[in-house]
């Protein structure tokens, strides 16, 4: 599965916010700089994530973005669909017979999409966080 650059940036920003102090909003400029993402493009993405209830924004000098819910409650599916819209299989062709190859293909694609959606929904933001570095390793 190939993710758009927009989705990759959304996931990257969400991961950065999951690693941040939830009491301290992170400005878009810092997210962009730390993640090496274009700031104006990222700003559009962050606004979209706010609209979909994934992030919360605050204005002002100390403003920025925070996750609107715990990282363990944010799924990869939710991030993808907030950016690209609902994952769907190809359109149904209602007037074809059930043994028509196109109808069979549509049914197969619908099944694959359902499985993919379940798997993406099971992947939570916390699973995408880097593993903590153990102090004192190798001593």
Provide the angle, in degrees to the nearest 10, between the axes of the packed helices 5-19 and 76-84.
140
Summarised one tens digit per residue, pLDDT across range 60-82 is: 888 999 999 999 999 999 999 99
Supply the DSSP symbol for 71.
G
Residue 138, pLDDT > 70, answer no
92 φψ region: left (φ > 0), alpha (ψ -120 to 50), beta (else): beta
Identify the pLDDT of residue 104.
Answer: 85
Q: Which two tokens stand for residue 17?
A: 């916010």
Residues 16, 25: Cα–Cα separation, whole Å: 11
Summarised one tens digit per residue, pLDDT across range 3-44 is: 999 999 999 999 999 999 999 999 999 999 999 999 999 999
Architecture of domain 5-128: Orthogonal Bundle (1.10)
Q: Which helix (H) or strand (E) holds 81?
A: helix 76-84
Q: Which two tokens stand for residue 80?
A: 């993808």
What are the start-end ranges of the E strands in 3-97?
A: 55-58, 64-67
Identify the pLDDT of residue 45.
Answer: 98
**Averaged pLDDT of the chain:** 89
* Rg, the chain, Cα only: 19
């Amino acid at each position: 599965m190939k993710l758009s650059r927009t989705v990759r940036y959304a996931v990257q920003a969400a991961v950065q916010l999951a690693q941040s102090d939830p009491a301290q909003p992170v400005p878009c400029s810092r997210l962009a700089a730390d993640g090496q993402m274009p700031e104006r493009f990222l700003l559009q993405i962050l606004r979209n994530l706010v609209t979909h209830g994934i992030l919360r924004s605050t204005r002002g000098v100390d403003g920025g973005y925070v996750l609107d819910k715990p990282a363990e409650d944010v799924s990869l599916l939710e991030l993808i669909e907030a950016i690209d819209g609902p994952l769907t299989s190809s359109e149904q062709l209602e007037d074809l017979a059930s043994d028509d190859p196109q109808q069979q293909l549509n049914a197969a694609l619908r099944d694959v999409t359902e499985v993919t959606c379940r798997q993406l929904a099971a992947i939570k933001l916390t699973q995408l966080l880097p593993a903590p570095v153990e102090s004192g390793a190798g001593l």
